[in-house]
Homo-oligomer: A and B are copies of this chain.
């Protein structure tokens, strides 16, 4: 029998916690322009809360590097500069490499089957050139590997660092060559994971991320150029 606490879900979240989630989603969704000021008054009205929990939530988001707080001038949505991207990818690459290594030691058949299924789905989406679905599966595979590492700290760091990149990654696979290369890298990843070859999987992940990094950079350049 369920305990009394489990009934109705432990909906005992404080208001500011819910606000953190809501705002994080809103920001990561891209519903607020980067660099745009976030007038807390408006946010409060729209979400129906007072300023106190809203300000607490903004402080937390600032600690997460999703917004920047300027004293006496409010919060602005933080965007990623090319320098940020250059710094983020190597760190994420190192984290994923570690995750791959650990995952090879601890993954069980069930988890491996699930990842294999996602991979097949992903390849299918690739064949049909369904970019959105492809990316979704792709993201899911990476997250599953990190999760399979069984290391909560690692999982949390990975999540925090890669969340702001999701938008950037969405525009990464432009060229057909890069796309094909990425898929073949994923094939190699799955092989190494199935063989429980941690060192190999780590190496593949690291270079996979490095390639993704370059692809994102080139895409950003291509976007910046015609914008002038």
Using CB atoms and an 8 Å cutoff, list the residues of chain A in contact with chain B.
Answer: 12-14, 16-17, 52, 55-56, 59-60, 62-64, 71-72, 84, 87-88, 90-91, 93-95, 97-98, 102, 151-154, 157, 161
By beta carbon, the residue of chain B nearest A64 is: B63
By beta carbon, the residue of chain B nearest A92 is: B153
By beta carbon, the residue of chain B nearest A12 is: B71
| Residue contact B59 to A16, C-beta cutoff 8 Å | yes
Instruction: List 12 additional contacts besides A87-B154, A94-B94; criterion CB under 8 Å.
Output: A12-B71, A14-B71, A17-B71, A55-B56, A60-B60, A63-B63, A84-B153, A88-B153, A90-B102, A91-B95, A153-B161, A157-B157
**A55 shortest CB reach to chain B, Å:** 7
**A201 shortest CB reach to chain B, Å:** 14
By beta carbon, the residue of chain B nearest A62 is: B60
**Bound CA span A15–B120, Å:** 53
- Chain B residues whose C-beta falls within 8 Å of the C-beta of A93 in the assembled complex: 98
Known: A56-B59, A157-B157. A98 touches B94 (CB 8 A): yes
**Bound CA span A161–B151, Å:** 14
**A27 shortest CB reach to chain B, Å:** 15
Max chain B Cβ within 10 angstroms of own Cβ: one of A62, A71, A95, A153: A153
